[in-house]
Structure formats: structure tokens, C-alpha cells
Amino acid sequence: MNNTPLWGMLEGQVIKDQYYLQQVLGAGTFGGVFRTNQVVRDTVLRTLATKVIFINQPELVSYQLQELQIALSFDHPHLLRCYDAGEAKIKALSISCLYLLMELAEETLENRLNRGNISKEEVKSIVKDIAKGLAYLHQKEQVHLDLKPANILKVNEHWKIGDYGLVRSLNPTRSYAETIHLLGTPLFSPPESYQGILSPAWDMWSLGIIIVMLLTSKYPIRFQTQYELQTKISNADFDNLNWNNLEQPWRKIVEGCLQVDRKQRWTAEDLLLIQFKTPLSEEEIKQKLHEGIGLGNLQKFSEALICFEEVLSHKDDEATAWFYSGLMLEELGNLEQAISHFDKCIEIDPEHHKAKNQKLSVLYLLGRLEF
């Protein structure tokens, strides 16, 4: 919440002779969100939220109008619903503004994180809702670019993505766009944000960070400066995260979202498939292991890894799947994650000598072991 005198001055003001701004719910550089009563003939018809955007910088008006246009075009149960938008003058202050009328949320995910004690079932429900919203956005060739707990809101027991100020459209003939401007919130921005590459994978990285925070109540990177944060993000150096403490299927989901190479990152559809699909039988698990080993022998390492990850999403104590997924990660150059997979294999089967030898080999490649 921003309690600057300017936002306080807007409380009690009226837009379009019927929208009474009651209380500041949140504010940024160019706009604020207010709890609002729609009043006609002294009767409150409904309470909603109103985003007020100042238009005192002409060079920004086209972007601000684009936000309104995009917000009104969305129609999905897990995107914050917007009812109307326009331009108005707040007569008492002689201020011109754009406005956007929206659903009133009960709380933000940021508030929910601060309250703590989030159960695994609640995490599952939150992530499912967000993933559904992202899948819709990405199918429409749109990327959010500022997915973070403060922009995820609870409305009538459902979680919804809000704040469309940075949403960008992609050319349907390309899978990404480029910009020279730094966008988003650094804590939740992916490695490619520093190169100005915009794609749906950006949002999936942000979701991966959010999932870690839901599960551990901690941001996964320690840093003192923005440069240190950028360096660690660019190298996926999650020094405040113990991978072994993440239970399945969350570990696989987080790993899938937090790949440095955006092309290797899971999509929203991948996440929904992995987390909510029908369980595999023991026979199907054996078939998946066989299929993965076969793909690995054909050097189709990414496809093989998907098979082993699918097994682990159903049966996280399958030592064979941990070992072979470690091998595939090693082949793909993800050496730190490969070590963690070999560790998990050894934890399940202390006599798994192949996993022990392969771990030593990777440690040697990393220069952390001398023979």
C-alpha cells in the first residue's frame, strides 16, 4: 500500500458520477488501485476495484491504452475480470485519468505468503489456477512479464492473475519478441530478461520462483546487490534452495520451470499435464523406464528425460529413474542437477554403485574432485 499524499487526495473522489473511490488498495509509479463503490441514486449497486492511471506523460498514453484494451479482451476464470474502462476527469482535483473497473480481490498471494502455513493441497490449488491462466494467455500469443505474488489475487476462492500493465503480444509467426527495455520485477525475471528476449518461457520462470516460495517460504537466491542477483539468476545459482527438500512432483516441476535455457523450460500445458494426470500403473512405469532408456541410447536426451520425469512424478522412490534422469541431465549439461539426481538414487539405494561412480565423474568434470 502506498500512502503518499497524492493517493490519499484521491480517496473520496468520484469518477463518471457513480464510481466513488473509497480506499487505496495498492499503488505504483503511474497508477493506483482503489476499493470502489458504484453508487446510483444513493444506492450502492456493487463494490469493485478501480485502477486509476494518470496520463500526464503523453509518450506513455499508447502503452496505457494498450493495457486497458488487453485487460478488456481477456475472458478466463483465472485472469482478473475487467468490466469497463475509459477516460475521465476527477472534477474536484481537475485531474485527467484513465480508469479500469475490475473484480475486487479478497487478498493477494503476497499477503497469503506473509500469513504462512500453506498446505501442500493449497499449493496445488494455487499453482493449478495460475497455470490455467498462463496457458490461456500463452495460447493467445500474450506474455505477462510481471508474474509475482503481488499480482496474483484471490477472488471467490479462486486465484487469478492480474495487473496487465506489462503484457506484450507476440507475432504468431515467432515464438518470442525482443525489447531494449528492462521489464518486470528482477526477483522474478528469467536469465533472458537481461538480453531483452520476451516469450512465454519468461512467465514459466516466474512461476517456478513462486512455487519455490510457496513450498519453502523463502526466495531461492541470496544476494546483496542487483548485480549479484543478475549473476545468480543468469547461472541458475539457487544458493538458498535445498533441492533434496522438495518433494515430488514439485521438484520436477520447479526444475522444469527454472531451466536457464528458455527452450528447455516447461510450458503451462506441460505443468498441468504432469501434476494432474491419471496415475501410472506399475506396468506402465516399467514401460516408461524402458522407453526412456531406449531414447537415451538413441541420444534423444531431452525426450528420454521427459520419460524418467514422468515416472518420478508418479513414483519418487524409483532409484532407476533417478539414475537415468541424472545421466540425461549430465548429457544435457545440467551437471549440478545431475549430481542431485545421483544423490537421490543413492539415498534410495545405497548399493547403487553406478550412481556413485557417475557422481564422482561429474564432480571431477566440475573440478571439485581429483583422482
Dihedral angle computed from the Cα positions of residues 9, 12, 13 and 16, in that order, rounded to the nearest 10 degrees: 160
Q: What is the pLDDT of residues 313-362, one digit of tens each?
A: 778 889 999 999 999 999 988 898 899 999 999 999 999 999 999 999 99
How far is it, in rounded angstroms, from Cα 341 to Cα 329? Answer: 9
Coil, helix or strand at residue 47: strand
pTM: 0.71
Q: Locate cell 503511474: which residue?
A: 30
* pLDDT at residue 9 in the model: 81
Q: The C-alpha cell of 254 is what?
A: 520447479
User: pLDDT tens-digit profile of 231-264?
Assistant: 999 999 999 999 988 988 899 899 999 999 999 9
Question: Is 72 strand, coil or helix?
Answer: helix
The string of pLDDT tens digits covering residues 48-104 is: 999 998 877 777 788 889 889 999 999 899 999 999 999 998 877 788 889 999 999
Residue 155's DSSP bridge partners are 158
DSSP code of 366? T
Distances (CA, A) of 298 to 174, 328, 331, 361: 30, 12, 12, 22
What are the tens digits of pLDDT across the range 102-157? 999 999 999 999 999 999 999 999 999 999 999 999 988 999 999 999 999 999 98
Assess contact for 285 and 307: CB atoms under 8 A. Answer: no
Question: How far is Cα 171 from Cα 23, in angstroms, rounded to an integer?
Answer: 39
pLDDT at residue 274 in the model: 73
- Which of 324, 321, 328, 327 has the alpha carbon at shortest distance from 301? 328
CA pair distance 161, 319, nearest whole angstrom: 38
Distance CA(155)–CA(257), nearest Å, equals: 26
Give the span between the Cα atoms of 32 and 49, in whole angstroms. 10
Are 87 and 78 in contact by the 8 Å Cβ rule? The answer is no
| Per-residue pLDDT, 2 | 42
pLDDT, tens only, 270-327 = 898 777 666 778 998 999 999 999 999 999 888 888 889 888 877 888 999 999 999 9
Cβ atoms of 280 and 289 closer than 8 Å: no
Cα-based angle 143, 33, 126 (whole degrees, multiple of 5): 50
Span 1-24, pLDDT tens digits: 444 556 778 888 999 999 999 999
Find the farthest-apart pair of alpha carbons in the chain and give their distance in angstroms, rounded.
85
CA distance 162 to 150: 9
CB 23 within 8 A of CB 48: no
* Measured CA distances, 274 to 118, 231, 278, 338 (Å): 21, 30, 9, 20
Alpha carbon distance 38, 14 (integer Å) = 10
User: Which residues are paired to 53 by β-bridges?
Assistant: 31, 98
